[in-house]
Amino acid sequence: MELMNGWRMKYGVFTLAVFLFCLIPMAGSGAPQQDSYTVLLDPAHGGDDPGVTSDKLREKELTLNLALLVREEAQKIPGLQVKLTRSTDRTLSIAERVKAAGTMKADALLSLHVNAGFGKKASGYEVYFPGFRQSVPSGGDSSPIIKDMARNTSLNDSVRLAQRIQSALETVFPRKGRGLRDAPIPILDGLTIPGLVVEIGFATDPDDRKRLTAEQTQRAVARALVTGLRDYFRKAP
């Protein structure tokens, strides 16, 4: 009987959690459209951490240049505001970057990186979104269930955002996409807003490196990222 009562309590808690989750605004639910959106851009590395270096390309410089260009391009889109975790060459911890997402009340986060490795012939761009997971507590506390459900809602939105960003980058790097990837990434872990890591290209590939260091390409990438963000938010609830 005690076992049965315990099962009923857990089932009741889980049912309540599901009911509460249904109250969370979902994509396509018909909720009012926002007038404006804020995106937090995170230029990877910086300061004492140069990131990937190859020939004249330094990741910390390229990601910052791109972030500044994205912010500039976003000013042309009404209702789209871009903020940066860093706007200068300074060192930032992962914890500081994650904290910024909450402090700035962003609607989405993009972390910009440059890739390396995977063999000498590896090239192209990659888009990472956080992995899905859901846990059910063994006790009567429903808060972990609610948090996981809310998080999985943002993960679904991350996938939609990833699709828009991938489609936009394809106009700059035709047939160079390496796919959308699900991976545990510290800066995205625990986010309750859509979040992505975008690996713009491979510093270790001569062709990628040449293109990425060209101002024209950087501007084109910035425009593509803004287009992807614009298209995503236009379809948001």
Cα–Cα–Cα angle for 222, 227, 228, rounded to 5 degrees: 100
pTM score above 0.85: no
Work out whether the CA dihedral 49, 51, 55, 56 comes out positive or negative.
negative
Domains in the chain, ordered, with CATH? 37-234 (3.40.630.40)
pLDDT digits (tens, 9 = 90+) for 118-175: 777 899 999 999 875 543 344 444 344 334 444 567 788 999 999 999 999 999 999 9
Task: Enumerate residues 6+ apart whose C-beta is below 8 A from 70.
Answer: 41, 82, 222, 225, 226
The DSSP code sequence of 148-191 is HHHHHHHHHHHHHHHHHHHHHHTTTSTT-EEEEEE---GGGTT-
Partnered with residue 37 across adjacent β-strands are 80
